[in-house]
A and B are shown apart, each in its own frame.
Chain A
Amino acid sequence: MIQYFSMLLIAIGIYGLLSQRNLVKLVISLNIAEIGVNLFIVSIGYIEDGLVPIISSVNRTSSLVFVDPLPQALVLTSIVIGVGVTALALALIITIGKTKGSIDLTELGSSGGDDE
């Protein structure tokens, strides 16, 4: 079920990327799609009744059934890179908004002059 939900999030993100014209909204759509991808990657490592992949004083040995730790490690990487991309995109949007006076794609396209 959660896998269908994450696919739905990816689809919502794609819809936002295609339909919105505001640059900030595009970044938000990108983030929604990214959350969907992250959820999906974590979900393929889930095992029914699996434990948190931490050996602790409660779950003492490595022979217990743990969920797959590898997708979680990869999603950690993905989240951090998502933060970097979002920060850089927002900085670009601030610069565009200052120099062009607008962050709307239609207005940016018409004022550029190169468009037909």
Chain B
Amino acid sequence: MRRLIAAIISLLFFLMLITVLNTETEDKAGIPAYGDADLSSRVSERFVTKSVNGYDGEIVYGVTSDAETGSANLVTSIVVNYRSFDTLGEVTVLFISATGVGLLLGGGKKRIVEEIKVSPVARLASRIVTPLLLTLGIYVFIHGHLTPGGGFPGGAIIAAAFLLMMLTDEKRRAPSKLKILEGYMGLTYVLLGVAGLLISGSFLQNFLPSGTIGELLSGGLVPVVYSVIGLKVGAELSGILDDLACEGSDES
């Protein structure tokens, strides 16, 4: 009976949500049909042409220098330049949830002992793969302004390397310095914002030269902020994994 009512309610929700689709007409704003989005009527066009402050030239890869934001990856230019304040809030949410997990489950001194024994082959292989994964993670967040990726995927890859270490070694714990690194990286992000406030007059505004689009040393603050975020997210997710693996194991 409960399942039937739930099915009816979710079906009604589905029908209600369907009515929202394809509602954009000439005189009324709405959700456009799939594939028919019109960038020229959206704010995103200014993000693509990097003309929020009025610059009206064409952005060319490897040629344009000192553009509004020097990041070749347009998503990154939005995430850590135009909407960097948003990202600061996002990092704060992640920090609070990591702290909450630590508060709820913390106190475990030892890892929970698992019955499954890891084969020596897997252990040795993981020791080879882990440094490669760490390098890949660092590569992904350093090149966040040039290629797909950035601080959050890079941090997740670093946490995956840590998870691999934890799965193959029963005694492995997160180093306690990770919490210190996490806190300092959060502080660095805020300090970069305050530096932007003091130098350029607006919180988190770019104050470094933005360079030529497509070079590694370009984008001004973008690679700096993304490296900070990458280290912070990597440390945070590793801390969550460590908390989950050690929850209250000294009680029993």
The secondary structure that dominates the A interface is helix
Interface size on A, residues (CB 8 A): 54
- In the complex, chain B residues 132-176 whose Cβ is within 8 Å of any chain A Cβ: 146-148, 150, 152
For A77, what are the chain B residues with a Cβ–Cβ distance below 8 Å?
79, 86-87, 90
For A56, what are the chain B residues with a Cβ–Cβ distance below 8 Å?
61, 72, 146, 214
For A70, what are the chain B residues with a Cβ–Cβ distance below 8 Å?
42-44, 47, 78
- Tell me which of B48, B90, B244 contacts A53 (CB under 8 A): B48
A30 to chain B, nearest CB (A): 14
For A57, what are the chain B residues with a Cβ–Cβ distance below 8 Å?
61-62, 214
- In the complex, chain A residues 51-100 whose Cβ is within 8 Å of any chain B Cβ: 52-57, 59-63, 65-70, 72-73, 76-77, 79-81, 83-85, 87-88, 90-92, 94-95, 98
Query: Is there an interface contact between A94 and B104, defined as CB atoms closer than 8 Å?
Result: yes
A22 to chain B, nearest CB (A): 13
Interface size on B, residues (CB 8 A): 66
Query: Is there an interface contact between A62 and B58, defined as CB atoms closer than 8 Å?
Result: yes
Please report the C-alpha to C-alpha distance between residue A95 and residue B77 in the assembled complex, in whole angstroms. Answer: 40
How many contacts between A and B, using CB within 8 angstroms? 171
* Most B CB within 10 A of own CB, among A11, A62, A77, A95: A62
Query: Is B191's beta carbon under 8 Å from chain A?
Result: no
Query: Is there an interface contact between B35 and A19, defined as CB atoms closer than 8 Å?
Result: no
Query: Is there an interface contact between A48 and B36, defined as CB atoms closer than 8 Å?
Result: yes
Residue of B nearest to A55 (CB): B72
Query: Is there an interface contact between B39 and A11, defined as CB atoms closer than 8 Å?
Result: no
Query: Is B122's beta carbon under 8 Å from chain A?
Result: no
For B10, what are the chain A residues with a Cβ–Cβ distance below 8 Å?
11-12, 14-15, 18
- Tell me which of B21, B83, B247 contacts A3 (CB under 8 A): B21
Query: Is there an interface contact between A69 and B240, defined as CB atoms closer than 8 Å?
Result: no
For A55, what are the chain B residues with a Cβ–Cβ distance below 8 Å?
59, 61, 72-74, 213-214
- Tell me which of A7, A14, A48, A54 contacts B35 (CB under 8 A): A48
- In the complex, chain B residues 93-144 whose Cβ is within 8 Å of any chain A Cβ: 93-94, 96-98, 100-101, 104-105
Query: Is there an interface contact between A73 and B79, defined as CB atoms closer than 8 Å?
Result: yes
For A84, what are the chain B residues with a Cβ–Cβ distance below 8 Å?
93-94, 96-98
- Tell me which of B44, B50, B147 contacts A68 (CB under 8 A): B44
Query: Is there an interface contact between B47 and A54, defined as CB atoms closer than 8 Å?
Result: no
For A52, what are the chain B residues with a Cβ–Cβ distance below 8 Å?
148
User: Residues of A at under 8 Å CB distance from B?
Assistant: 1-4, 7-8, 10-12, 14-15, 18-19, 43-48, 52-57, 59-63, 65-70, 72-73, 76-77, 79-81, 83-85, 87-88, 90-92, 94-95, 98
10 interchain pairs, CB-CB under 8 A: A7-B17, A10-B14, A10-B17, A62-B50, A68-B37, A69-B77, A76-B150, A83-B97, A84-B98, A90-B244
